[in-house]
Amino acid sequence: LPKLRIEEAAARTRARIDSHQQVIVGVNKYRLPKEDPIDILEIDNTAVRKQQIERLNDLRSHRDEKAVQEALEAITKCVETKEGNLLDLAVKAAGLRTSLGEISDACEKVVGRYKAVIRTISGVYSSESGEDKDFAHAKE
């Protein structure tokens, strides 16, 4: 699987960087004596979520609910029968101010949600770290 090969390559690279086998200037070699502080943007997720919900509620209160429901039913029927142009129906529904979540839910009624199979790699970092003392100490 490509995803696992990417994860394995990333783990090998990280292990080589951490064990100083691979040099990254400014990260594991030739670092500045004093690092400049980095401004970090802090986002209040609760406030953003609340604002988005308010905007969605406002949007829903100013749309033609009957037309929206008809558009969503057409999407569900299209997915069910595999007849018609799903993209065209979704674009038309969006034009009626239907949210992406509502369009997705209309499809989900028929096909369900995709559930990824999660596989993990193991042993790559330790095999690449070799005789690194810090890694051996951390394992203990």
**Cβ burial, residue 132 (10 Å; 0-12/13-18/19+):** middle
Give the pLDDT score at 122: 82
Q: Is residue 50 part of a domain?
A: no
Q: Is residue 70 part of a domain?
A: yes
Give the pLDDT score at 120: 79
Alpha-carbon distance of 20 to 18, in angstroms, equals: 5
Give the pLDDT score at 89: 98
Spatial neighbors of 13 by CB under 8 A, at least 6 apart, are 22
Give the pLDDT score at 113: 92
Helix (H, G, I), strand (E, B) or coil at 9: helix
Q: Is residue 29 part of a domain?
A: no
Q: Which domain holds residue 126?
A: 63-139
Alpha-carbon distance of 109 to 92, in angstroms, equals: 19
CA distances from 125 to 3, 16, 100, 140 (A): 17, 9, 40, 15
Q: Is residue 110 part of a domain?
A: yes
* Number of domains composing the chain: 1
Give the pLDDT score at 6: 92
Give the pLDDT score at 22: 92
Q: Is residue 19 part of a domain?
A: no
Q: Is residue 22 part of a domain?
A: no
Q: Is residue 28 part of a domain?
A: no
Residue numbers in the chain where pLDDT is lower than 50: none
Q: Is residue 42 part of a domain?
A: no
